[in-house]
């Protein structure tokens, strides 16, 4: 029958559309339901649009420093409409690519909202107001997440925005206060600050990027502060109120009440899952997330959940991997997810790339560890680029010198970390990295030099 499928995917974000494509490539008859735009948060309101703005900010920073490179440029300026038009164009092109892949793989796309009405049935309310039901052997829930907000007075005031609104501004504010010193908050801080917006960050915890290696966090904090972004840590926001120049953020810092103002206040305190409506089934939750096993299966043997709704690391590339695992299990394979190697990329200036254990985690798990470091200030390519801040840090066990974690703060760190991810996946040792010839002059040499440092014989470091 027309409305009978092997797999029905609810949600067309990274986890959902990849699961649909994988299932179709394995010979399944697949349907996907999306109530908004294919590509989900990552493509439309997250990873991609922010990286377009990050790249524009990088170009602008380079132009402002052009004199250092022997290039004369007069009065560079930001064209805000052109900036956001380029962002929209890139997003549109990639979204069209996803739509083409869905069509090319003969996946039935329903535009509307899906509701699970039984173990093998999904009801769809389409955009046109029609209601239809599909029968399906398997269901994959990939409903994603949305920006979280904090329960403080004033959150509803005009001018308080989330990352969604920040990506669709008509003009740049003169000043912004960002609540949250994690990945989202710091990326937007770098963007706004690069474009000349007076920027402040308020973080509740003792340091920015609290999930990352403490040494990386501390070094980045110093660099961002030097670039004239005000950062307040150990600071709990008490309220947001109207101010003389826009909005005032009142917070407690070390027992004292402080107040700073901004034309806009950006809430960047993380994300919360979105779970589709269910009727006739009782899927187990773990907190606010759907509880799944290592096969991405819920407490129903034919219902799976992937991506942000399932509560693993809230990263698009994790959702990709989870979607593949779920689809393979739907089609009869026995696949398991492995979270051992999950690269983490933060597009600040300079960038952060990390994979594996932090120093703190490694010391808790292992009796002894070895640490190697190499600064970009001693790297020829970094000096040529004029991007010589930061360092590479490798953590290894003391018995075999096996790589446990790689942490990079510096130029192109989000690209360089792929070598660290491969090293951990292959259980490489510091010797194997050190003995691998790296091209010169490249930033990647810093990883090789760092491995030599673990072995006690650094070449270009005293």
| Residue ranges at the known binding site for FAD | 51, 114, 143-145, 308
Which residue is catalytic, options 407, 438, 440, 452? 440
Residues 6+ away with beta carbon under 8 Å from 289: 273, 309, 310, 311
Sheet holding 256-262, edge to edge: 235-243, 246-253, 256-262
Burial class (CB in 10 A: 0-12, 13-18, 19+), 326: buried
- The C-alpha atoms of residue 417 and residue 246 are separated, in whole angstroms, by 40
Residues 6+ away with beta carbon under 8 Å from 414: 345, 346, 347, 351, 352, 353
Can 317 be counted among the known catalytic residues?
no
Task: Copy the structure tokens of residue 163.
Answer: 């990352």
Helix (H, G, I), strand (E, B) or coil at 322: helix
- The C-alpha atoms of residue 375 and residue 409 are separated, in whole angstroms, by 9
* Residue set of the binding site for NAD(+): 180-187, 203, 270
* Residue set of the binding site: 51, 114, 143-145, 180-187, 203, 270, 308
Listed residue (371, 429, 424) closest to 395, CA to CA? 371
Residues 6+ away with beta carbon under 8 Å from 434: 448, 451, 452, 454, 455
- The C-alpha atoms of residue 164 and residue 166 are separated, in whole angstroms, by 5
Q: Which residues are catalytic?
A: 440
């Amino acid at each position: 029958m027309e409305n009978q499928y092997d797999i029905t995917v609810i949600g067309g974000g990274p986890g959902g559309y990849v699961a649909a494509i994988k299932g179709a490539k394995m010979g399944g008859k697949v349907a996907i339901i999306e109530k908004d735009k294919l590509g989900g948060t990552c493509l439309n309101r997250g990873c991609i649009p922010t990286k377009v703005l990050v790249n524009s900010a990088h170009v602008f920073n380079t132009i402002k420093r052009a004199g250092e490179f022997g290039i004369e440029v007069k009065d560079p300026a930001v064209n805000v409409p052109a900036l956001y038009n380029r962002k929209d164009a890139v997003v549109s092109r990639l979204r069209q690519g996803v739509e083409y892949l869905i069509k090319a793989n003969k996946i039935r796309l329903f535009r509307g909202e899906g509701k699970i009405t039984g173990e093998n049935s999904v009801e769809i309310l389409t955009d046109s107001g029609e209601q239809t039901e599909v029968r399906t052997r398997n269901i994959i829930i990939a409903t994603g997440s949305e920006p979280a907000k904090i329960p403080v007075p004033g959150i509803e005031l005009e001018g308080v925005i989330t990352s969604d609104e920040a990506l669709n501004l008509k003009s740049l504010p003169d000043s912004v206060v960002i609540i949250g010193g994690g990945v989202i908050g710091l990326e937007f801080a770098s963007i706004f600050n690069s474009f000349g917006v007076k920027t402040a960050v308020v973080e509740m915890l003792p340091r920015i990027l609290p999930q990352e290696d403490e040494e990386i966090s501390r070094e980045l904090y110093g660099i961002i502060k030097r670039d004239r972004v005000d950062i307040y840590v150990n600071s709990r926001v008490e309220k947001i109120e109207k101010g003389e120049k826009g909005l005032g953020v009142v917070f407690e810092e070390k027992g004292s009440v402080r107040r700073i103002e901004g034309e806009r206040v950006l809430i960047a305190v993380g994300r919360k899952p979105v779970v589709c409506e269910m009727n006739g089934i009782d899927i187990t939750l773990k907190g606010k997330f759907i509880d799944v096993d290592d096969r991405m299966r819920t407490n129903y043997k034919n219902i799976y959940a992937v991506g942000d709704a399932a509560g693993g690391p809230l990263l698009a590339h994790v959702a990709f991997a989870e979607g593949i695992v779920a689809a393979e299990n739907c089609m009869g394979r026995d696949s398991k997810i492995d979270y051992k190697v999950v690269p983490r990329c933060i597009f600040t200036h300079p960038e952060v790339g990390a994979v594996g254990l932090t120093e703190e985690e490694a010391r808790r798990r292992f009796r002894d560890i070895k640490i190697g470091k190499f600064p970009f200030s001693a790297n020829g390519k970094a000096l040529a680029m004029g991007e010589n801040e930061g360092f590479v840090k490798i953590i290894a066990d003391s018995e075999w010198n096996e790589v446990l974690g790689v942490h990079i703060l510096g130029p192109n760190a989000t690209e360089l970390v792929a070598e660290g991810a491969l090293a951990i996946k292959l259980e490489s040792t510091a010797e194997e990295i050190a003995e691998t010839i790296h091209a010169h002059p490249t930033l990647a040499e810093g990883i090789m030099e760092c491995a030599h440092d673990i072995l006690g014989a650094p070449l270009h470091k005293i």
